[in-house]
Amino acid sequence: MRSRWQLLSASALALALALSWPMAGELPAEEEGLTTRAFVIHHKDPDDVVALIRPALSEDSTILIQSRIRTLTVTDHGSNIDAVDALIRSFDLPPRDVSLIINLLRASRDLKGSKARILPGQLPLSLRNVTKWLDYELLGGMTIQTSESEESTLRLGDEYRVRFKVSLVDDRNERIRLNRFVLERRVAQATGGETYVPLFDTVVNLKSGTPYVFGATRGRDAQSAIFLTITARIAP
């Protein structure tokens, strides 16, 4: 009886394997029609490229990132691989030049008639709509030409400076990203020297040609606030 049971078990196993194994010439479903291709990223951050191509991939896809050699290995259906190839070719371009206009304003609830006062028509619409601020004083401003991947430090007036890096210029979506955008204020030290204290440190995403406004205040009931206006344009 024992040997017969072993024989029956072996037969059942053989039948199960025969039913589950693909016929000659077929591939298992998870491998059918899949293609693998390696892409070397020359200019952009590989993580930005991954974010770009993910929507073009299917649920069957895989992405292997090799940051040290700046290579993405993508596996997916052939048509999707071709779409990824086109996306990367249009995105992974040499660094682009960018122009930036940056102004620093102090806004107040009181009308003091400052000689540096800015008329309402000179303000970005988004800032004019913040109706509690009645008076605006220009503390400093600058227009610069910079390039993707470059870092800049700009002094705005006597007390402030900004630091940032142009980390991404995306021609397809007219998008510009400034990493580690830091506004700092100069503070005198008791020893006679000076240092800069950060007021905020953020990432700024800009649309080419569209003004961007953000600010800092000491609290809800503060009588004044600091605003930065930034307009960036991708060079032709």
The 3-class SS string of 75-137 reads EEEHHHHHHHHHHHHHHCCCCCEEEEEEEEEEEECCCCCCCCECCHHHCCHHHHCCCCCCEEE
Rounded to a whole number of angstroms, the distance between the first and last alpha carbons of the chain is 86
Look at the domain 26-91 and name its fold.
Answer: Ribosomal Protein S8; Chain: A, domain 1 (3.30.1370)
Q: Which residue has the tokens 């200019």?
A: 43
* Average pLDDT of the residues of the chain: 81
Compute the average pLDDT of residues 69-95: 95
pTM above 0.95, yes or no: no
The candidate with the shortest Cα–Cα distance to 106, out of 137, 127, 141, is 137
What confidence tens digit (pLDDT) does each residue in 176-207 have? Answer: 999 999 999 999 888 888 999 999 899 999 99
pLDDT in the model for residue 52: 96
Across-strand partners of 231? Answer: 101
Q: What is the pLDDT of residues 122-171, one digit of tens each?
A: 556 555 555 566 677 889 899 999 999 999 999 999 999 999 999 999 99
pLDDT tens digits for 9-28? Answer: 434 434 343 333 333 333 34
pLDDT 10s digits, 1-10 = 443 333 334 3
Q: What is the distance between the alpha carbons of residues 176 and 101, in angstroms, rounded to a whole number?
A: 13
> pLDDT for 90-132, tens place per residue?
999 999 999 999 999 888 776 655 544 554 455 565 555 555 6
The domains of the chain are located at: 26-91, 97-234
DSSP letters for the chain: -HHHHHHHHHHHHHHHHHHHSPPTT---TTTTTEEEEEEE-SSS-HHHHHHHHGGGS-TT-EEEEEGGGTEEEEEEEHHHHHHHHHHHHHHS-PPPEEEEEEEEEEEESS----TTB--GGGS-HHHHT-TT--EEEEEEEEEEEEETT-EEEEEETTTEEEEEEEEEEETTTTEEEEEEEEEEEEEE-TTS-EEEEEEEEEEEEEETT--EEEEEES-TT-SEEEEEEEEEEE--
Residue pair 178/165 in contact by the 8 Å Cβ criterion: yes
* pLDDT of res. 221: 67
